Chain A
Amino acid sequence: MNKRIKRIIFGAALFAIAIILPEEPNLLKLGVFVAAYGVVGYKVIWKAVRGIINGQMLDENFLMSVASMGAFFVGEYHEAVAVMLFYQVGEAFEEYAVGKSRRSITQLMKIRPDSANLKTEDGLVEIRPSKIKVGDVIVIRPGEKVPLDGIVIEGSSALDTAALTGESLPREVSVGDEILSGCVNLNGLLEVKVTKRFGESTVNKILDLVENAANKKAATENFITRFAVVYTPIVVACALLLAIVPPIIIDGALWSDWIYRALNFLVVSCPCALVISVPLSFFGGIGGASRAGVLVKGSNYLEAMAKTEYVVMDKTGTLTEGVFRVEKIIACEGFREAELIEWAAKAEYYSNHPIALSLREEYGKNVEESQIGDVKEYAGEGLVADVMNHQVACGNVRLMKRITSYEGEFPALVGGTQVYIAVDGKYAGCIMLADRIKEDAVKAVAQLKAAGIKTVMLTGDSEEAGRKVADIMGIDKVHTGLLPQDKVVLVEELLAKKSPKGKLVFVGDGINDAPVLARADIGVAMGALGSDAAIEAADMVIMNDEPSKLCRMIQVSKKTMRIVYQNIIFALGVKIGVMVLSALGITGLWAAVFADVGVAVLAIINALRCLK
């Protein structure tokens, strides 16, 4: 039990005794009242005194002290003590509610690992994760958190990734798999070779993000802060007028009566309920989102998300799995199919484009780095690489037409994508690949449309491939054959077209889309777990690959904004109401204290709903 509660109980007991005591002797009864008041309120008075010394005249403590002492001097002993008691109970509640919300935030931070078991020649040593170097080997026992990113070199286990992705299904890992810090090792013993320093590892990045999210404030939040600046002087001026003007104007009006009303008026006016509950609601929303596997970089983005009008999506990697499989190879005369794959895999050796990955996977053999010379990339066309002293070009029709003199048909796969290959300026053939649509993406688009949001798909792929995907998913509009800079132009056009209040969300894989992510009102990077570039560029990060998290985020943001507005309206409504009533002398100090701490507590409780 904390000191405040002990004081409240002791004070309440004295208060009860004072009430029971007989009227005579008067001095004894008064003495016990004063004692009760002192026990309950001495800290408030002490703070008020210090406030005056520091030039902070009009804080809550000062107002409460003056108002309750005023009640004492006009002979309202009961009221003076009771109100101070009530105020302290309210403060205790407020402290509890704030503590609870702080704890639920630290709960989110619980993924921070405290120690790592470093494997040394003398056995295991437990040290702080920040002391571990890249290349060190650590051991993770069942039930422990993965402290740093790394690669499993021995053992197998299931990992709980819920803290990172919101995914409840455990992920199986074994030798050779990459594991991310922040996961919890469920059953097996793992030996892991560390690949990233603690500062660079996933868990630390996520924590940084969530902790710093509070620094990017939403417009509503800034409004409340600015509001408090003008609000306080206005209220003080009103209170002064209330205390001075009526006794002068109205015949028979008592100074003490109006001063008392003015004090009540000031007690009501404390903007604490707003100043606490609005940021708390946003923080709750951000916390709730990260529990669902979405990281939000600031409450301003949460606020904007609630007004989503357009969702613009990149196709590859966002709506589709981004994993291409080779469907068919058409080789020209003089080339074998296996040869084409080999040329392509080698030429694309340095590329991290999903298609390059699939080509290398299809090739299946290790590529000798020494075989590859200069590589030149041509945006929107492909690349030309020097492979074993041959010039190999991999790309689309545009590149082929520019480099080769081939005039025949270029074969194409409907709904797929193709890589054309030329060797030493001679067209060699075509590798056809197809990508699968994510099951979840279809659901996501349907939900977005149901919410009245316009959907647009952008892709660098051909007309047929793009349109086929868009039709299957029911996307409103599709733009195909785009170069990276075209995407920016299109997004800018849409930004100009949307209604002034509506917001444009762009969802991409975050690696190739950085300029568009930055240009959109809200840039969302998808499936970006572990990808640094995406976390840098985006405003929100969907940790697992599911596009439907977008709809979930829109729901979270709408709920958060609803709670924010409820709190603003409720707090201001009650306060203005009680201010008017106290000015008219209808309500007393009781209602004033309720409108101060009571409203704050209720608003905090309401704000905590955002976390769920």
Chain B
Amino acid sequence: MGAQLRVYRRRMRSVKATKKITKAMELISASRIIKAQQRVNASSPYANELTQAVTAVATFSKVDHPLTTASESPRRAAVLIIAADRGMAGAYSNAAIKEGDLAIASLKDRGITADAYLVGRKAVNYYKFRNRAIAGSWTGFSDNPQFTHAREVSAALITAFLAEAESADELHIIYTQFKSMITQTPVTNQVLPLQTEAAPEGLLPQYEFEPDASEVLNALLPRYVEARVFNAMLQSAASEHAARRRAMKSATDNADELIKSLTRLANAARQAEITQEISEIVGGADALASASAGSE
């Protein structure tokens, strides 16, 4: 077998092996999206009820709580960026990190120092490589977050918020919103201080509080932050799987293309080799014939 042909065959083997891997990853992600999506949906009743309750308390009580009152001159903000642990998901992690950079830049314009809290190895590596300060980081659960993880992260954020010195005045979460199988967009959400929207769908009922409004708010707000963080993590996980599925699908398609063109090249090389062999034989026979004709 000719050298050229052998090179083509070797490259084809390697592309085929890669294609098997990307195809497998595509199928795995495809099956996990559905599960991740179901988890987002399953967690939304809790998040909705909590949001409603928090809005109700914040609207009706005139209680001053560090978690609801906006500081007159905010100086620090905690920014939670949720990215992936692993790559192979196209621009997913990068898009979230870039959105985080934008958010931090706009905070800086307002004269606010941002502390970065990172979820996902990709975000942590990005910050470490650029020697940026990291206030807190968590890795290892980006594709399947549990509520305990959300609680761990929110505990750190709330501690930063309630700290005596250099406490954070704002809390922003940057995550990737899962809109549909094909659309996922990185978004920045301000979680604290609470932005009380105008009461949705008519007036909220005049609640009685047990034991009293400030106690309820005290207990409610940490849970609210947890629920928001958890929801952001779940949506990010679903988006990660969707992004990975898409990236792996185009990698598989690409491998198909490559195999096709390599097959053509290999065929051409094989034919060229045969043609060459034939002409060598014919040439050799001719030379032999003319040599024997000359000797007679």
A is bound by B: no
A contact residues vs B (CB 8 Å cutoff): none
